[in-house]
Amino acid sequence: MTSSSLRPRAPLEILKEVFGFRSFRKGQESLVDRILEGRDVLGIMPTGAGKSLCYQIPALALGGLSVVVSPLISLMKDQVDALLQNGVRAASLNSAADWDETRGVLSDVRCGRVSLLYVAPERFENASFREFFAALRVSLFVIDEAHCVSQWGHDFRPSYLRLPEVVGLLGERPPVAAFTATATPEVREDIALRLNLRDPFVLTTGFDRANLFFRVEHPRDKTLFLLDYVRRFPGSAGIVYCSTRRAAEEVCGALNGKEFTAVRYHAGLSEEERRENQDAFIYDRTPLMVATNAFGMGIDKSNVRYVVHYNMPGSIDSYYQEAGRAGRDGAPAECVLLFAPKDVVTARYLIEQGENSENRQTRYRKLQAMIDFCNTSRCLRAHILNYFGETADGELPAGGNCGACGSCVSAGEKTDITLDAKKILSCVYRMEERTGRRFGISLLIDVLRGSQKEQIRALDLDTISTWGLMKQRGREELREIVGFLAADGWLRLSEGEYPVLSFTEKTLPFLKGKETLLMRRHTPPERPEQNASLGGRQKRAAPEETPPALFSRLRALRRELADAQRVPPYIVFSDAVLYELCAALPENEEELLSIPGVGQVKLEKYGARFLEILRAWRLENPK
């Protein structure tokens, strides 16, 4: 059955019959309606919020050809596979296809046999394809992962800058729809400007991912912590991100040296190995992926139960996008960041090596926000939402406690650091008073610990009253306190390669007043499960009414059907659909069609097989 036979005129009917959902999610209907009115749109929706449907439904309602610009082959393949499963005529043009495949797709497009065509932005740099494209009648032009157009964001792709010129090749300009999951207000403005959107309807549905649990840990031994942590998720899919190729190799080796099976992914591997390893992870043949940020953009694998950042990323933008690859099916998932001070050194080195001078200050500013996230004792969810320009008050319960992050549910007691903080702040003041200059964290700690370094003696800092004031305290302990003071606004760190400390508007009133300052100390347990409370907002990974044996049978059938078609299992049905089947136990096709995610085409393809398993289960378990 083709999409044309299924395609009704009303968007809600398309949603139900093609995609198997009974109602729109937040923001979807508004974006769909504006596109159908012929208006440009910019949609900022978190991962898992269903932004793909916001352009796929209008594409089917408008008829004809819609073109979707997508940055990665893996993203295009996932999208096309999922559409084909729902009976939609979709295709992609990418560098992995041979000439015969490419020629076949071009022929299908020319003859009107494709509804949605996915294209990499670099394809438009080919003169012959531009000529081919200019002759097409395009109903809708979609730009996915639109943050790639902004040099202020992450994953900048120069080819995105030429997309307005590409749209101009068409005889009649179609509506242009741009979508992204993460964008600061600065990046949003940049997207609209650089893509030349005309009076766009801009909608931000919110950045909160309620099913994700965020934690920051400061373990003494990251590898030991990771090994213990992964043991909590036997058989579940997880991603471990590292900041360098070397770290990825070492971590992957450590995991494979124990009882785990992991594959690696970074730019230093051959294209063939990267493809094989990615497929092993996507198709559930290997549960663990250890990678640099070269992996994951556009990966739609919905059953990732945890993402661990072995090293601190360079920005919250990157962190939230990478962490957001967990829990795309809406079930609970964890995002854990393992922080160490040397991560900051690595991040600054990468900025100096990889960025042009125009962007370095922006990168340093973003890095400081990331460092503050790692050191704050406040709600991590609120920190993320505030970074993206949202006030967290509307997303959190009264009192600002989200109940689903390490800060809000930590079992660790808060320590009174009032005296320590005043000693540190006084030392910052005395150092500047003596020299007329400001200094960074390392020299501050040296002075507090009474170092006899030549630089300290040359600056006469060994004669100020705060020299040696905290000589009994360890460097890491002092660095943790200074990091907290900077993260929570008691000290300010300048931007740049060598940031220096200064007072904020809060500092002097605190020094002169009687306010008590509390800080949660990072004292991770030997095994993370001892401190693994998921909090009030966290839902169960599987509903209580899900019988494990039935779920296993359904999952085995899903795997069998997926293998036969050479698609990932989650393309057939998501875990969320299987949970619903276990809960509802539909007895016929009509009841099966009422399950969210089961559309008409999937009902015809798979309905009988799944109903057979459910029927057998009811006979075996009459109660």
User: 432-463: per-residue pLDDT in tens?
Assistant: 999 999 998 999 999 999 999 999 999 999 99
67 membership: H or E segment, kind and range:
strand 65-69
What mean pLDDT is predicted for residues 336-352?
A: 86
What mean pLDDT is predicted for residues 216-230?
A: 93
What mean pLDDT is predicted for residues 596-609?
A: 92
In terms of pLDDT, which residue wins out, 546 or 478? 478
Q: What is the pLDDT of residue 396?
A: 52
What mean pLDDT is predicted for residues 104-121?
A: 94
235: left (phi over 0), alpha (psi -120 to 50) or beta: left
Q: What is the pLDDT of residue 521?
A: 67
- Looking at the domain assignment, is residue 542 inside a domain? no
My answer on whether 195 and 105 are in the same domain is: yes
What is d(CA 491, CA 488) in angstroms, rounded to the nearest whole number? Answer: 8
Q: Is 259 exposed, middle or buried (0-12, 13-18, 19+ CB in 10 A)?
A: exposed
Question: What are the residues whose beta carbons fall under 8 Å from the beta carbon of 371, sequence distance 6 or more?
Answer: 312, 344, 483, 486, 487, 493
My answer on whether 295 and 313 are in the same domain is: yes
Q: Which of 12-21, 405-414, 562-571, 600-609 has the lowest mean pLDDT?
A: 405-414
CATH number assigned to the domain comprising residue 494 = 1.10.10.10
User: Domain end: 204, 238, 262, which one?
Assistant: 204
What is d(CA 294, CA 547) in angstroms, rounded to the nearest whole number? Answer: 38
- Looking at the domain assignment, is residue 331 inside a domain? yes
State the pLDDT confidence band at 62, using cuts at 50, 70 and 90.
very high
My answer on whether 397 and 441 are in the same domain is: no
What is the DSSP pairing of strand 176-180 with strand 237-241?
A: unpaired
Residue 373 has pLDDT above 50, yes or no: yes
My answer on whether 226 and 351 are in the same domain is: yes
State the pLDDT confidence band at 413, using cuts at 50, 70 and 90.
low
Closest-CA residue to 176 (of 147, 140, 202, 148):
140
344-347 long-range Cβ contacts below 8 angstroms, 24+ apart = 344/312, 344/371, 346/243, 346/244, 346/311, 347/243, 347/312, 347/313, 347/314
Residue 535 has pLDDT above 60, yes or no: no
Q: What percent of the chain has a predicted confidence (pLDDT) above 70?
A: 90
Q: Which of 214-218, 342-346, 456-460 has the lowest mean pLDDT?
A: 342-346
- Looking at the domain assignment, is residue 541 inside a domain? no
Residue 543 has pLDDT above 80, yes or no: no
State the pLDDT confidence band at 489, using cuts at 50, 70 and 90.
confident
- Looking at the domain assignment, is residue 486 inside a domain? yes
- Domain around 474: 415-520
Q: What is the number of domains present in the chain? A: 4
What mean pLDDT is predicted for residues 264-269?
A: 92
My answer on whether 402 and 456 are in the same domain is: no
- Looking at the domain assignment, is residue 529 inside a domain? no
- Looking at the domain assignment, is residue 256 inside a domain? yes
Q: What is the pLDDT of residue 522?
A: 60
My answer on whether 164 and 221 are in the same domain is: no
User: Domain end: 155, 183, 204, which one?
Assistant: 204
- Looking at the domain assignment, is residue 543 inside a domain? no
State the pLDDT confidence band at 536, using cuts at 50, 70 and 90.
very low
179 membership: H or E segment, kind and range:
strand 176-180
CATH number assigned to the domain comprising residue 165 = 3.40.50.300
My answer on whether 237 and 368 are in the same domain is: yes
What mean pLDDT is predicted for residues 511-536?
A: 59
My answer on whether 43 and 180 are in the same domain is: yes
State the pLDDT confidence band at 524, using cuts at 50, 70 and 90.
very low
User: Domain end: 354, 388, 409, which one?
Assistant: 409
CATH number assigned to the domain comprising residue 575 = 1.10.150.80
Q: Which structure tokens are listed for 452?
A: 């006899």
My answer on whether 62 and 104 are in the same domain is: yes
- Looking at the domain assignment, is residue 57 inside a domain? yes
What is d(CA 69, CA 153) in angstroms, rounded to the nearest whole number? Answer: 18
Q: Which of 41-55, 305-319, 536-550 has the lowest mean pLDDT?
A: 536-550
Q: Which of 147-156, 176-185, 262-271, 361-370 has the lowest mean pLDDT?
A: 147-156
My answer on whether 369 and 439 are in the same domain is: no
What is d(CA 342, CA 350) in angstroms, rounded to the nearest whole number? Answer: 13
Q: Where are the alpha helices (DSSP H) in 459-596?
A: 475-487, 507-512, 548-565, 569-572, 575-584, 589-593
My answer on whether 331 and 372 are in the same domain is: yes
My answer on whether 27 and 93 are in the same domain is: yes
Residue 55 has pLDDT above 80, yes or no: yes
